[in-house]
Structure 1
Amino acid sequence: FARMAVEGQAAASAALKATDQEIRKLKRILRTDQEAVAKGSKEIFAQINEQFHLGIARASRNVYLEKWVINSFWRSNIYIFYFDGFYKAPVREEIPPQRTPSQHLAILKAIEERNPEEASLQMQEHIRNTYELLLLGR
């Protein structure tokens, strides 16, 4: 998947170039991310997920990566909104458990530790896990 490569590179670059202020902002976003999943708030979760991924792309300081991430994020989200059980579940009790908050936390931890290889790996794994869940149901 091209999105894995591009967002992995954006995360690696963010690990090297993100400011402390950007990292603090991503931490605030993650707190809201976890709360949205716990409450089953699909709209807020979608907004927070976008803020997290695009925030990392901005922190990469690479306008080309940022533009590509924006385009691929929205293109893939069409499928995610349509197929992901979190968004399809009509009521809170039917929402499947989510791995996204813990995966986002691992990505941010690597960025905060200024570890570009780990940031890239965690981002790629996160995107791969999302697609596997959608396409293979695992």
Structure 2
Amino acid sequence: MPKVSAEERAHKEIVNLILSQKYAPGDRLVEAELAQELGLSRTPVRNALRKLIAEGLLESQNNRSCTIPKITPADMEALFSVRSTLEGRAAAAAARLATAADIDHLRGLIALERKLYAEGSKDLYTEVNEKIHLGIAKLSRNEYLERFIRQTFWRAELYIFFFDRFYMRPGGPEAPLRDPDKSQSCREHARLVEAIAAQDSSLAESTMREHIQSTYQTITRRVFSY
């Protein structure tokens, strides 16, 4: 297993703090306080915060601090609209360019996603979801598309962390198993990978767009009733 750097650990732990809803939209995160809480020096924490700002999950403030962006219906609509367009284009390109090894890797992620969903392992499920979406972006072989998708992906995760039912329920080994066949996201990811495997660019693009749109619609209902 590759060694995890202090910066990578800081990045993961800060994401998990947001995922666990210890911090909420609008809350301020201070570098020194996070370093103490995580048991790390300030340098890797500072670098992790900079990366999270670049990815769109946090917003920069003065005095070595940042905030979790406030979430609004207007921001969400604009964000998911752009994300649908970008990731749809990436999926279409992936269908043209993915190798057999790439497809095997994506199918392995789908199998792992189903397992983690059933177990309710929120942090690991989040990592696999990231690998599926950003992995498809990487298969587009377009560094600009990949860069913008990474940013919109992480910003969209804020809405998912706070309003998706999977993240709102208790998780971990004590939680009852969930049925991945009843998960809209698991089903849509599987269809998406098979469209890419079939080298059907049009189907891959429409499937990705429908997936992003269905996520938006699900989250919208919860945002307005929050």
Normalised by the size of structure 2, how large is the TM-score? 0.58
Q: 2:213 matched to 1:133?
A: no
The answer as to 2:121 corresponding to 1:41 is yes
Q: Which residue of 2 aligns with 1:70?
A: 150
Greater RCO, 1 or 2 (C-alpha within 8 Å, sep 6+): 1
* Amino acid paired to 2:212: I
Q: Who is 1:12 aligned against?
A: 92
Secondary structure, in 3 states, of the residue corresponding to 2:199? coil
Quote how far apart the aligned CAs of 1:94 are: 9.9
The answer to whether the 8 Å contact 1:19/1:59 transfers is no
Whether 2:135 is the aligned partner of 1:55: answer yes
Q: Which runs of 5+ in 2 are unaligned?
A: 1-80
- Choose from 182, 201, 209 the match for 1:124: 209
Letter in 2 for 1:121: S
Of 101, 109, 127, which residue of structure 1 is paired with 2:186?
101
CA distance in 2, matches of 1:31, 1:11: 19
1:110 positional shift: 0.5
| CA distance in 2: counterparts of 1:47 and 1:116, whole angstroms | 26
Alignment partners' CA distance in 2, 1:90 and 1:36: 14
In the TM superposition, residue 125 of structure 1 has moved relative to its aligned partner by 0.6
Report percent identity of matched pairs.
Answer: 36
